[in-house]
Chains A and B, each alone.
Chain A
Amino acid sequence: MTVIDAPRAQVPDELSPQRGRWHRVRPFLPLVALLVLAILPYSTISLPGIFEGPVNSPGTLQLLAICLIFGGLAAGYDLLFGRTGMLSFGHALYFAAGVYGTDILVTRAGLPLWQAALLTVTGGTILAALLGAVALRTVGIAFAMVTLAFAQVGAILVARDFDGLTGGEEGLPLDVSGLPAGLVGVTNTVNLYWLALAYLTLVVFVVHRVSGSPTGRVLAGLRDDERRIGVLGLDPYRYKLVAFTLAGGLASAGGVVYVLIVGGASPHITSSELTLSLLVMVVLGGPGTRWGPVLGGVLYMYLDHRLTAFGTSDAVDNLPAVLSRPLSQPLFVLGTVFILAVYFFPGGLTSLAPRVSHLTRSLRPPPFDPPSIMKL
């Protein structure tokens, strides 16, 4: 029996995407970025206006680490929102479960960090699976409200401080005496920075692998047309539960790293505002893209921290009160930018690059083409 290969499909040139100048380098860019971020703490450059103090000062490294964590959180949230189309308003709950779980196990129960971290991530994942199993019985807006309500329970539990576990309004500082020496103290901020970078890398890797897998295709199908997936004989509920559980587990892992960086838990991380800001990060960056949510998360946290300094700077203080007061509120600036983004660049930051290149291409004068009469 002879096997005859089918002839290769002929794709017309104008249909195949044009290869950019950098197409050979592109696949390696994430690795290069990772390398640059990994060796960043060795540089002593100071970037006045962008960071206070040199890049490797503990303050800057801590800010960067928080930005990286939220980049990872936003990427995990995008697994729900951008890739599966689930609008969850309760993602803060799983992050808070990671933060408070680790904190309580280390500080109150005196467990070593690795045990606490393992227990917390397992617990957070199970929590997400259980609550997701209930919440996913609803769809669309009702799902959003139910997740919001569940997250509110978390916020109430933390705020009411049952048995004095959570410290209530004041939060719970992390007891550092039992932690590994390399993770404690101002001089070791760099290790926490690397931990945050590792977390971000993990999340991006997991999300990338999942969205490339057959499961990820089903998830994308659920986002675009859930009924069709049902008709194809797949169970939407089960796939959504998988995505929800995975995202919850990733968020609680982020909480474990976050509590180490910040050195304690405070009740504001349980608020629905945190989930809303995750949503803002994803939409600003570009939902459903690989780097958009990461970029959005990093940028949002950076702006959130830096706009506070900007708001109290002289340049703003000298403005009339009508302008200076709203500008001193980071959330006002970010909320306004967010609304504008929804209207004017719905694809987020990542959609800007193709648009700008399109614009420059159409603005460039066309190559000189002699009129056909001259050729004769």
Chain B
Amino acid sequence: MGTVILLTLTGLGLAALYFLVASGLSLVFGLADVLNFAHGLFLGVGAYGTWWAAGNLPGAGSDGFGFVLAVAFGVAAGTLVAILVELVLIRPLYSRTIEQVLVTVGLSLAGVALLQATWGADARPFPRPDWTRQVTGILGAQVPNGGLLLILAAALVLGAILAFLRWTRYGLVIRAGVENREMVTALGIDVRKAFTLVFAIGGAAAALAGALGGVYFGTVSPGQGGSLLIFAFIVVVIGGMGSVVGSAYAAVVVGLVQQFVNYYGTSGLGDICVVGLLAVVLLLRPQGIAGKVATA
């Protein structure tokens, strides 16, 4: 029993990580039709921003309030990079989908190389509060606190995004834009402001994922974003593009499948099962669990 609970909770931790990356990707894709390969870069910036702040920023540290400050700095850095990328690189290519993808591809290559050039290719130990290294006993399972922190953060982010989409004017514009962008434009609303906003939200969530992922894994390396990104893509496709709730469901399914199969089957089999799941979903329900039909 203890094993099952442990696997469930660590699977949910993984799911939380996927969700933090995928929610932004899904919103950006749903609204602006941009498949953002540079999303892994935002994650990397968040992770390295936190790492740097914990060591160099006055007041920030690896414990207590200092750690909160460090994470806040990392998230701010990731958000800033996301906004800059949207304004400088994506906006001039408005509605040219393929070129936008190409630019984000170039950005992901160059950005990761830049991180590597600045801080080296090797993984660095991540500063984390001592309590995240410990475990909590839940129903007989010893669950690492880092995973619980991730689950909590993802739940908060999910709630915040949903509340934002549900009860604010900008949220209304974003929801309407995902459904029918032309109509929103025709009503005289500048959707491109919403694009920037969605990029900022996605960048912040990804940067948070980078920071908390660093806590969870204990290290930070330039390539971390890229490998997470592929599973985040799978989550986005399974969940349905443009749907935050769909991403949440899909992230939970993917995280649990991966964790359970990797434990009870061979290591690595879980990852393959996830791709099998993707193929099945695409064959049976090409628009994903809860999304609009993904075209172009």
Contacts and interface: CB of A to CB of B under 8 A. Distances in A.
10 contacts: A137-B282, A137-B286, A141-B101, A273-B226, A331-B109, A332-B114, A334-B109, A335-B108, A338-B105, A338-B110
B216 interface: no
A149 B268 CA distance: 14
Given A134-B279, A139-B295, A272-B230, 11 more contacts: A137-B282, A142-B241, A146-B278, A148-B233, A160-B268, A279-B105, A280-B106, A325-B117, A331-B110, A332-B109, A339-B110
Interface string B260-281: 0000001110011001001100
A332 B33 CA distance: 26
A171 interface: no
Interface string A268-286: 0000110011011001000
Interface stretch (A43-51, A111-119, A150-158): A150-158
Contacts of B187: none
Contact of B110 (A138, A142, A150, A335): A335
A336 B106 contact: yes
B294 interface: yes
Contact of B234 (A137, A145, A326, A342): A145
Contacts of A149: 230, 233-234, 237, 275, 278
A152 B230 contact: yes
Contact of B103 (A157, A330, A339): A339
B172 interface: no
Nearest to B273: A153
Interface in A306-328: 325-326, 328
Given A139-B295, A326-B114, A342 B275 contact: no
Given A140-B296, A146-B237, A335-B109, A283 B282 contact: no
Interface stretch (B1-9, B62-70, B91-99): B91-99
B102 A283 contact: yes
Chain B interface secondary structure, helix, strand, loop or mixed? helix
A165 B102 CA distance: 35
A87 interface: yes
B184 interface: no
Interface residues of B, number: 47
B113 A339 contact: no
Contacts of A330: 113
Contact of B114 (A141, A152, A279, A329): A329
A42 interface: no
Contact of B275 (A144, A153, A334, A339): A153
A318 B103 CA distance: 31
Interface string A166-182: 00000000000000000
Contacts of B111: 335
Contacts of A331: 109-110, 112-113
Interface string A220-262: 0000000000000000000000000000000000000000000
B282 A160 contact: no
Contacts of B103: 339, 342-343
B118 interface: yes
Contacts of B29: 141
B106 A145 contact: no
A146 B294 contact: no
B81 to A, nearest CB: 15
B212 to A, nearest CB: 23
Interface in A83-128: 87
